[in-house]
Amino acid sequence: GQNIDQPTEMTATEGAIVQINCTYQTSGFNGLFWYQQHAGEAPTFLSYNVLDGLEEKGRFSSFLSRSKGYSYLLLKELQMKDSASYLCAGRYGQNFVFGPGTRLSVLP
Amino acid sequence: KAGVTQTPRYLIKTRGQQVTLSCSPISGHRSVSWYQQTPGQGLQFLFEYFSETQRNKGNFPGRFSGRQFSNSRSEMNVSTLELGDSALYLCASSSRVGNYGYTFGSGTRLTVV
């Protein structure tokens, strides 16, 4: 299978930095996506990594290590509105496989 | 500009029936993807269409099918409905193939009884 694993829940404090990890099976892997989904809403695309390294977009950064089957999403200067589920998804051939999502709670 | 529009928003069907869901992408977007989201399985990719051709496909049975029209509008059909097909079906559109930069619609919530 093409298992995508990520922690189920995380909690962090407003203003802090949080790192959400994602591991995936490397066989057939083509790229990795991160999505944000607020409760009751549709997902929103955050990032897509194909090559190793860190890509930064404002307060959000995404890292990929293809050889290790590992990615993380880094959120800086956390705000209350960042409370949401973060979905990691891998591209395998013509298929896209999603992880279970990490529910992040940002506390004041 | 208008976002991705999915119709209907809510639907109740009986086991064994078939259902057709509709998705109108953002104007100018030629790629449309479909996803199923359930509490137990999470978000799962169904298929992606670009310029009326299926370009990518997830691991769903043949009861799930789709098509895209020349105006980029897409429909998804599920035949012989099962209770487990109850889910939120999301459509997303993009100007590119490949699942990135997508804008999602609000979804159609299908309940099979």
Please, what are the averages of pLDDT over each run of 10 residues along chain B (113 residues)? 90 98 95 93 92 92 97 97 97 81 90 97
Residue corresponding to tokens 């990615």: A71
Q: What is the pLDDT of residue A96?
A: 86
- For residue A89, list chain B residues with Cβ-Cβ distance below 8 A: 43, 45, 99
Structure token pair of residue A104: 């992040």
> Between the CA of residue B81 and those of A44, A50, B1, B13, B30, what are the distances in Å?
29, 37, 35, 8, 29
3-state secondary structure of B3: coil
Residues β-bridged to residue A85: A37, A103
Phi–psi pair at A7, nearest 5 degrees: -65, 150
Residues β-bridged to residue B48: B33, B56
For B24-69, give the DSSP string: EPPTT--EEEEEEEETTTEEEEEEEEETTEEEEE-S--TTEEEEE-
Interface of chain A toward chain B, CB-CB under 8 angstroms = 33, 35, 41-45, 48, 87, 89, 91, 94-101
How many other C-beta atoms lie within 10 A of the C-beta of residue A4?
A: 23
Q: What percent of chain A has pLDDT over 70?
A: 98
CA of A32: which chain B residue's CA is closest? B100
- Band of the pLDDT at A1, cuts 50, 70, 90? low
Q: What is the pLDDT of residue A17?
A: 98
**Angle at the Cα of A94 (from A89 to A95), degrees rounded to 5?**
35
Q: What is the pLDDT of residue B1?
A: 59
Please measure the distance between the N-terminal and C-terminal CA atoms of chain B and give it in whole angstroms: 37
Interface of B with A in 21-60 (CB under 8 A): 42-45, 55-59
Cα–Cα dist A94/A92, whole Å: 6
Q: What is the pLDDT of residue B41?
A: 86
Cα–Cα dist B78/B62, whole Å: 9
With residues binned 3-state (H G I as helix, E B as strand, rest as coil), the percentages for chain A, rounded to 5, are 5, 60, 35
Q: What is the pLDDT of residue B99?
A: 62
**Which of A94, A102, A103 best probes binding to B when mutated, by most B CB atoms within 10 angstroms?**
A94
